[in-house]
Structure 1
Amino acid sequence: MSAWKFFIITFGCKVNQYESQSQREAWQKLGGVECDAPGQADVLCVNSCAITARGERDARNAVFRLRREAPAARLILTGCAAQLFANFRPRPGAIWAEPDLLVPQEAKSSLLRGPWSGKSLPALPPETAFPPFQIRAFRRARPVLKVQDGCAHRCTYCIVPLTRGKPRSRAPQEILEEARRLLRAGYAELMLSGVNLRQYGRDVPGYGDFWSLLHFLDENLAPEFEGRARLRISSLEPSQLAGRGLTTLTDCRLLCPHLHISLQHASPAVLKRMGRGHYTAAMLEEAVAALATRWPRMGLGADILVGFPGETDKDLRLLLELIERLPLSYAHVFPYSRRPGTAADSFTGHLPQAVKLGRAALAREAVARRHQRFLLDQLDLPHMLVAPDTLKRLPSETKRAAAENATVHGSGAWRKGVNEFYAPCLFRFPAADGASQADRPTGLLPARPVRVTEKGLLVELKTTEA
């Protein structure tokens, strides 16, 4: 195939980011050249998300915008919003654009064979095993490593089981090989990610569960990479944080002392209506207390969903009180979004949009207070290890903070990254003699915190580990 240009835009979760990278590498092997702007492309691909109504709307808007910017290009829509797009009907008279090819999430891996031609995919066998995505690089400095796909739990608000299908687990040895390949390529931090890590191994009992996988990876990677690289977990549920789960977390030598929890709410009544009655907020509090003996300082993030049908003022108060008690370092707060095809869409007690937005604002304010305490607490650390990333633009407030602090003066390029606790960090990376300031730093960088800014911690890199 002769050279052709493509442009991929990705919405949504880390799993989508991973799949876009796999598709990017596959298309490059087929002669494709990635371009910087849609108008330069022969093929456009939107990798969509449908976890919220806004995500689905973003996909439709992207199709319209890309069609306008590159009317002659072949336009493909894939991902979780693709099959929903097929059933969407615009308002009469609305300006509208359609893709040339709709590829539902369940068939996304077919794009690894190329962008295809025509209006439909060729007949392909149904995909029953883990989809054949793999990567050798990543556009960001901290790669996502996909280990699981699909979900069978069917939370009453969630459309993911309808778009991602049944749980499918990746073979441990294949995961290990990809992890080792990425770490040897110079990446210092990998994010183990899946749609529902709690269901890892249920489709192939011989794989064990997620804790078996984590132990296997740590046991095989730590002898070579301990002190030079680390692993991070994308998302867990409170029900996983007991017994063997806690032991595995604290025994792993490569694992960051940071957890992101799919919490959603604190009220038992709301959790039950959500279809998440298999855990309680108390489970998370007990786990955090237990982890404190081995992780005296940790990062703790959460997903929180407010304004669910039937949520009362008392339910909201339970949530806000939990936020104040937990040592949260951040949280993603979402107002409930109706999703046709889910059980909750037919529930009674739907709240007005203004009420949902107001409650989300209250939760975000409570989280912001906890986040500020977390960052201030980080200033007591004598040192930390920062996994670097790129930085397009330095916030103005941080420029002022840097100017006020002689400790961060000097030549070099500004970079961002995260420390082991997932605190956002900004630092100046000195350029080596004869090297461009744009050179990307690699490895885990020893640093010390200087001050808190509106975007996280301003840190100073250390020349030697102190």
Structure 2
Amino acid sequence: MSTWKFHLLTFGCKVNQYESQSLREAWQRKGGEECDDPSVADVVCVNSCAITAKGERDARAALLRLRRTAPQARLVLTGCAAQLPGVLAPVRRRNAQQPRPTVDYIIPQADKARLLDALMPFPAEGGQQVPHAAANAAQTFPPFAIDGFRRARPVLKVQDGCEHRCTYCIVPLTRGRSRSRDPQAVLAEARRLLRAGHAEIMVSGINLRQYGRDKPEYGDFWSLLVWLDRELAPEFAGKARLRISSLEPGQLDARGVDSLLSCRLVCPHLHISLQHASPHMLRRMGRGHYRAETLQDAVRALAAQWPIMGLGADIILGFPGETEADVDCLLDFVAATSFSYAHVFPYSVRPGTAAAAFAGHIAPQEKQERARRVREAVARQQAVFRQAQLALPAMLLAADVSEGQGTRKTAGIRGVNEFYVPCRLLTPVPAMPLSGLVPVRPTGLDAAGLLVEPAGTL
């Protein structure tokens, strides 16, 4: 089998990272050799994101740059932005029209799995082909799977798609209906990754709340998580851990809390798709099915076994119709909740969503100003949380080193602890393992997070 070179560029969510890894492994099995330099690649693939307008702009800029850098390569656009016309449309910037990106193949998100079967992908005579998904493609879980990961903390995809249709969100238009992965396939992949030496797995999906709705026999997300933990804990408890990518406040009812507390491998950390705390804004966003206060109730209930826990959130500011009273409500909620970090976004108009046609759109400068105020409020909470981490006698670091770096002899190794606080190991280690949870103790803080040193025997 002749060798060919490929270059993969990935934007967006953890699920996109997972799918790029699946493509990487599939292409390597078919004789492909990945290269970091796109100028020497035969195939260059951009796995794009469309969750915000910036995501589309990033994909567009990458296509223009890669076409200049690798004019001989077959340039492929896939992912969520590939389903939207804007990424390839001419754009005017500063009184000058930017060129339209030219690509050889457009593979929409619904067809991305077809790339797994490429054998020296993309014959040269292809041109801009836009295939259409098979009739049942949107009804079944896409056949992505992985055996490893480029970094020490792999993603484990268990669900795809979303049917909720939040008024601001384009994901249902790009990824389609919710589809759930067979629990046995989830368990088999988790075992492969853990036995390969990965110390931490991120259990991910587009909307974990909808896991099992298409396949009631699979159960729901909580039953999947508890079963997965029960099956893996006898072999991996104390050696590895599971982290949940994102939950909604409404999932954190009594059953959700009990499920988390019953797990031996799950990190004491939650990332919450909160979006706002004002009931008025949640209803306008199409997220009136939960109360923000449910999150606070869950944190109190979890404290019995998780007295220290990392807590992050996604938050949108400047949504159409948002008032100063809504912003004040959100700021009060942040002040009363022990967030260790948050991703705060100014609202981004997504064509084709309900919110794009709403009245009451807010000026960009005002959106940025409101986002700044909330970021500052979160930063105050984060500073308190990180300062308190210095009092802990020890923690477990999952080192974020690249594939192939089995040992490290230099200082400055980065990773995260169980509470999802970034850590930097400054002390030189004679044989720093790629895998395993490394006992460390905190020694100080810098702008990025904790400074740590080895604790006990590595």
TM range (shorter): over 0.9
Return the match for 2:422 from 421, 424, 427.
Answer: 424
Secondary structure of residue in 1 paired with 2:426 = strand
Secondary structure of residue in 2 paired with 1:314 = helix
The 5-angstrom pairing of residues 245-264 of structure 1 reads 245-264=256-275
Take 1:225 and 1:57, find their aligned partners in 2: how far apart are those partners? Answer: 42
Secondary structure of residue in 2 paired with 1:304 = strand
Take 1:173 and 1:419, find their aligned partners in 2: how far apart are those partners? Answer: 29
Take 2:354 and 2:172, find their aligned partners in 1: how far apart are those partners? Answer: 12
Secondary structure of residue in 2 paired with 1:134 = coil
1:397-433 deviations in whole A, cap 9, x for unaligned?
xxxxxxxxxxxxxx7432011111111110036443x
Take 2:352 and 2:253, find their aligned partners in 1: how far apart are those partners? Answer: 33
Instruction: Tell me by how many angstroms 1:39 deviates.
Output: 0.4
Instruction: Tell me by how many angstroms 1:440 deviates.
Output: 4.8
Take 1:111 and 1:271, find their aligned partners in 2: how far apart are those partners? Answer: 38
Instruction: Tell me by how many angstroms 1:225 deviates.
Output: 0.2
1:118-142 deviations in whole A, cap 9, x for unaligned?
1326676231210000001101110
Partner of 2:104: 100
Partner of 2:65: 65
The 5-angstrom pairing of residues 285-300 of structure 1 reads 285-300=296-311
1:224-254 deviations in whole A, cap 9, x for unaligned?
0000000000000000001211100011000
Return the match for 2:191 from 162, 165, 180.
Answer: 180
Take 1:316 and 1:300, find their aligned partners in 2: how far apart are those partners? Answer: 20
Q: Is 1:464 paired with 2:425?
A: no
Instruction: Tell me by how many angstroms 1:463 deviates.
Output: 2.6
Q: Is 1:116 paired with 2:116?
A: no
Take 1:381 and 1:275, find their aligned partners in 2: how far apart are those partners? Answer: 41
Secondary structure of residue in 1 paired with 2:191 = helix
Partner of 2:245: 234
Partner of 1:447: 440
Distance 1:325 1:24, change over 3 A: same
Checking the alignment, whether the CA contact within 8 Å between 1:45 and 1:76 is kept in structure 2 is yes
Secondary structure of residue in 2 paired with 1:413 = coil
Take 2:330 and 2:130, find their aligned partners in 1: how far apart are those partners? Answer: 46
Take 2:352 and 2:218, find their aligned partners in 1: how far apart are those partners? Answer: 32
Q: Give aligned-pair identity as a percent.
A: 62
Take 1:106 and 1:346, find their aligned partners in 2: how far apart are those partners? Answer: 26
Return the match for 2:200 from 160, 185, 189.
Answer: 189
Distance 1:2 1:441, change over 3 A: closer
Instruction: Tell me by how many angstroms 1:87 deviates.
Output: 7.6
Match of 1:21, as an amino acid?
Q
Return the match for 2:335 from 313, 320, 324.
Answer: 324
1:301-342 deviations in whole A, cap 9, x for unaligned?
000000000000000001111111111000000000001000
Q: Is 1:378 paired with 2:376?
A: no
Checking the alignment, whether the CA contact within 8 Å between 1:425 and 1:456 is kept in structure 2 is yes
Match of 1:325, as an amino acid?
A
1:272-314 deviations in whole A, cap 9, x for unaligned?
0000000011111111111112211100000000000000000
Match of 1:116, as an amino acid?
F
Partner of 2:406: none
Q: Is 1:208 paired with 2:219?
A: yes
Q: Is 1:415 paired with 2:413?
A: yes
Superposition TM-score, scaled by structure 2 size: 0.94
Take 1:204 and 1:86, find their aligned partners in 2: how far apart are those partners? Answer: 35
Match of 2:282, as an amino acid?
L
Farther-moved stretch of structure 1 (189-198 vs 78-87): 78-87
Secondary structure of residue in 2 paired with 1:72 = coil
Instruction: Tell me by how many angstroms 1:3 deviates.
Output: 0.7
Instruction: Tell me by how many angstroms 1:94 deviates.
Output: 2.8
Take 1:302 and 1:85, find their aligned partners in 2: how far apart are those partners? Answer: 30
Take 2:161 and 2:130, find their aligned partners in 1: how far apart are those partners? Answer: 22
Take 2:304 and 2:392, find their aligned partners in 1: how far apart are those partners? Answer: 18
Take 1:352 and 1:310, find their aligned partners in 2: how far apart are those partners? Answer: 11
Take 1:9 and 1:212, find their aligned partners in 2: how far apart are those partners? Answer: 35
Match of 1:450, as an amino acid?
T
Q: Is 1:166 paired with 2:181?
A: no
Partner of 1:396: none
Take 2:76 and 2:434, find their aligned partners in 1: how far apart are those partners? Answer: 35
Secondary structure of residue in 2 paired with 1:450 = strand
Q: Is 1:343 paired with 2:361?
A: no
Match of 1:427, as an amino acid?
L
Take 1:384 and 1:199, find their aligned partners in 2: how far apart are those partners? Answer: 33
Instruction: Tell me by how many angstroms 1:35 deviates.
Output: 0.6
Distance 1:99 1:313, change over 3 A: same
Q: Structure 2: 5+ residue runs without aligned partners? A: 403-408
Superposition TM-score, scaled by structure 1 size: 0.92
Checking the alignment, whether the CA contact within 8 Å between 2:60 and 2:87 is kept in structure 1 is no
Instruction: Tell me by how many angstroms 1:382 deviates.
Output: 1.0
Partner of 2:36: 36
Partner of 2:15: 15
Take 2:375 and 2:206, find their aligned partners in 1: how far apart are those partners? Answer: 24
Checking the alignment, whether the CA contact within 8 Å between 2:296 and 2:337 is kept in structure 1 is yes
Checking the alignment, whether the CA contact within 8 Å between 1:265 and 1:271 is kept in structure 2 is yes
1:336-363 deviations in whole A, cap 9, x for unaligned?
0001000000000000000000111111
Match of 1:172, as an amino acid?
P
Distance 1:72 1:2, change over 3 A: same
Checking the alignment, whether the CA contact within 8 Å between 1:157 and 1:274 is kept in structure 2 is yes
Q: Is 1:270 paired with 2:281?
A: yes
Checking the alignment, whether the CA contact within 8 Å between 2:414 and 2:422 is kept in structure 1 is yes
Partner of 2:27: 27
Count residues in correspondence: 441
Take 1:236 and 1:384, find their aligned partners in 2: how far apart are those partners? Answer: 24
Secondary structure of residue in 1 paired with 2:440 = strand
Take 2:223 and 2:91, find their aligned partners in 1: how far apart are those partners? Answer: 50
Partner of 1:405: none
Match of 1:100, as an amino acid?
D
Partner of 1:401: none
Distance 1:463 1:91, change over 3 A: closer
Give me the CA root mean square deviation. 1.5
Secondary structure of residue in 1 paired with 2:299 = helix
Partner of 1:282: 293
Checking the alignment, whether the CA contact within 8 Å between 1:428 and 1:461 is kept in structure 2 is no
